[in-house]
Amino acid sequence: MKGYEKLNSSYQASFAMIHAKHLTSMNMQQRKKYELSQIEKIELNRDKKRLEIQYNNGNKAYYNTDLSWEEI
């Protein structure tokens, strides 16, 4: 995942928790499209205090510091 290595340990831990919660909100077929291997890149938006996730399928999600997410 491009960008993951640039995150500090706090953001890496937040990412792991939010991603796990995000996957549990989906059925098994949907999960396959959003697994770790399907993430193209992760960018930290410091101004908005969130992680911006880009998937290989073109979808995006925002992972917020309150452990919520938004699908774009």
DSSP assignment of 37-63: GGEEEEEEETTTTEEEEEETTS-EEEE
**Where do the domains of the chain lie?**
4-71
What does the alpha-carbon distance between residue 55 and residue 5 come to, in Å, rounded to a whole number? 17
State pLDDT tens for residues 8-28. Answer: 999 999 999 999 999 999 999
What does the alpha-carbon distance between residue 40 and residue 57 come to, in Å, rounded to a whole number? 9
pTM value is 0.90
State pLDDT tens for residues 34-64. Answer: 999 999 999 999 999 999 999 999 999 999 9
